[in-house]
């Protein structure tokens, strides 16, 4: 009886985990890229933005076109310090906050994250 209960419990755990992985893989904001040394580098999608620095205030939760210049929006991802192009606020509303050094967002106080624009 204990064996049957253990098998049923394990089946529930496996099915709930695999269902969650499927759901999260469909809605996930995490992208996997190969690192230079062949190790996996996990980058987290923060928002989409215009690749033009003058339009860094443009942000969206979804891909699209920049309303000011018509260029395709690109993913701004949190990355490693080694591959970072800038430090930015992880809040979509503060996408215009970009610096060359780590620090805090002047608008919300959150730690700035190492980020880069992921151009296709």
pLDDT digits (tens, 9 = 90+) for 59-107: 999 999 999 999 999 999 999 999 999 999 999 889 899 999 999 999 9
For the cut 70, the answer to whether the pLDDT of residue 11 exceeds it is no
Cβ contact 34:78 at 8 Å: no
* Average confidence (pLDDT) over 7-20: 42
Kindly list the domain boundaries of the chain, sorted by start residue.
30-118
Q: With a cut of 60, say whether residue 49 has pLDDT above it.
A: yes
Q: What is the pLDDT of residue 120?
A: 67
pLDDT of residue 40: 66
Q: Can you give 6-46 as a three-state secondary structure string?
A: HHHHHHHHHHHHHHHHHHHHHHCCEEEEECCCCCEEEEEEE
Asked whether residue 7 carries a pLDDT value surpassing 60, the answer given is: no
């Amino acid at each position: 009886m204990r064996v049957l209960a253990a098998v049923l419990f394990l089946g529930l755990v496996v099915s709930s985990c695999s269902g969650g992985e499927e759901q999260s893989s469909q809605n996930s904001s995490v992208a996997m890229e190969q690192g230079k040394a062949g190790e996996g580098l996990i980058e987290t999608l923060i928002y989409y933005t215009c690749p033009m620095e003058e339009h860094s205030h443009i942000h969206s939760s979804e891909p699209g076109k920049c309303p000011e210049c018509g260029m395709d929006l690109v993913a701004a991802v949190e990355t490693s310090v080694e591959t970072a192009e800038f430090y930015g606020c992880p809040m979509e509303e503060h996408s215009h906050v970009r610096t060359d050094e780590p620090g805090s967002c002047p608008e919300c106080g959150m730690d700035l994250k190492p980020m880069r624009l992921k151009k296709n």
